[in-house]
Amino acid sequence: MKPRKLDSVFDLTGQTALITGGGTGLGLGMARCFIVAGARVVLIGRRQAELAGAAQALGKKAFALAGDVTQLDSVPALIDRAEKLAGPLTILVNNAGVHLKKPALETTDAEFAGVMQTHLFGAFALTREAGCRLVGRKSGCVLFTASMASFIGIPQVVAYAAAKSAYLGLVRTLATEWGPQGVRVNAVAPGWIHTDMTEKAMRGDPARKAKVLGRTPLARFGDPEDVGWAAVYLCSPAAKFVTGTVLPVDGGLVDSF
């Protein structure tokens, strides 16, 4: 096989990525990196104004599409609308999520189900619908945003941890089922990343911040683009023989436990 130029193996020109929860935080960071790599991106979320502002800032290769992945019956129409906006889907990034910090003994069935509905049921419905198209075209990538909670015990996030741990089973099973049809399925597992949510969690709590940094071998928070470039790699030709894997982007935190 003739070697390719370094930049070409990370090139996503001609690809269309749908990113849920793409208007802020990690989703927006991934969208920025996908666009730099040449892809078109469709940002999906529930807040139209926020999505529109993000898409405008990203430029002409970005499209905003308001939608709620927890409304499972609407998922096929959502994929149809995305493809009408930006062309046939080649990459799906399941990034939408909600967070619940509460002791397990106080977490209600409704609260637990609400977290699972967004992270697990919504992501699976979207993946199944996108997968029908990708498998039919015998090409494409699906990426899940997992978490440190997929690997280690974190108190007071039982519903979130259950959902993120379930992603590992989805990734491995779908990679096995869809690999023969040319569709790769992977995940990134971010650690503590500079986002508005992280800033809010750490504000006024220097002891917690010191504890987090003390457990992170690189002794700093990551940037959304750190996760974004890992996502680009997993969806690019450079990773054409990588499927069924979960890539931590956490400054070494998980491996230090």
How do residues 212-238 score in pLDDT, each as one tens digit?
889 999 999 999 999 999 999 999 999
Average pLDDT over all residues of the chain:
93
Instruction: Give the C-alpha distances (Å, rounded to integers) separating 231 from 52, 105, 154, 241.
Output: 23, 36, 24, 15
Residue 2 belongs to a domain: no
**Is 9 a residue whose pLDDT tops 80?**
yes
**Is 250 a residue whose pLDDT tops 60?**
yes
CATH number assigned to the domain comprising residue 68? 3.40.50.720
Residue 212 belongs to a domain: yes
User: Are the C-beta atoms of residues 240 and 140 closer than 8 Å to each other?
Assistant: no
pLDDT for position 211: 87
Give residue-wise pLDDT tens across range 149-174. Answer: 999 998 999 999 999 999 999 999 99
Residue 210 belongs to a domain: yes
Global model pTM greater than 0.85: yes
Gyration radius of the chain over CA positions: 18
Residue 257 belongs to a domain: no
* pLDDT band at residue 132 under the 50/70/90 scheme: very high
Over range 102-127, report the average pLDDT: 96
pLDDT for position 1: 53
Residue 4 belongs to a domain: no
Over range 13-25, report the average pLDDT: 95
Residue 256 belongs to a domain: no
Share of the chain above pLDDT 70, in %: 97
| Number of domains present in the structure of the chain | 1
**Is 3 a residue whose pLDDT tops 60?**
no
Question: Using CA atoms, how far apart are residues 200 and 140, in angstroms rounded to an integer?
Answer: 36
List the catalytic residues: 160
Tell me which residue of 14, 26, 20 sits closest to 51, measured CA to CA.
Answer: 20
* pLDDT band at residue 8 under the 50/70/90 scheme: confident
Tell me which residue of 161, 144, 51, 24 sits closest to 103, measured CA to CA.
Answer: 161
Residue 230 belongs to a domain: yes
**Is 2 a residue whose pLDDT tops 70?**
no
Range of the domain at 26: 9-251
User: Which pair of tokens denotes residue 102?
Assistant: 């509460």
Residue 160 belongs to a domain: yes
H or E element in which residue 163 lies: helix 158-178
pLDDT for position 209: 86
**Is 4 a residue whose pLDDT tops 70?**
no
Give residue-wise pLDDT tens across range 55-86. Answer: 999 999 999 999 999 999 999 999 999 999 99
Give residue-wise pLDDT tens across range 171-218. Answer: 999 999 999 999 999 999 999 998 887 787 777 788 888 888 899 999
According to DSSP, residue 3 is labeled: P
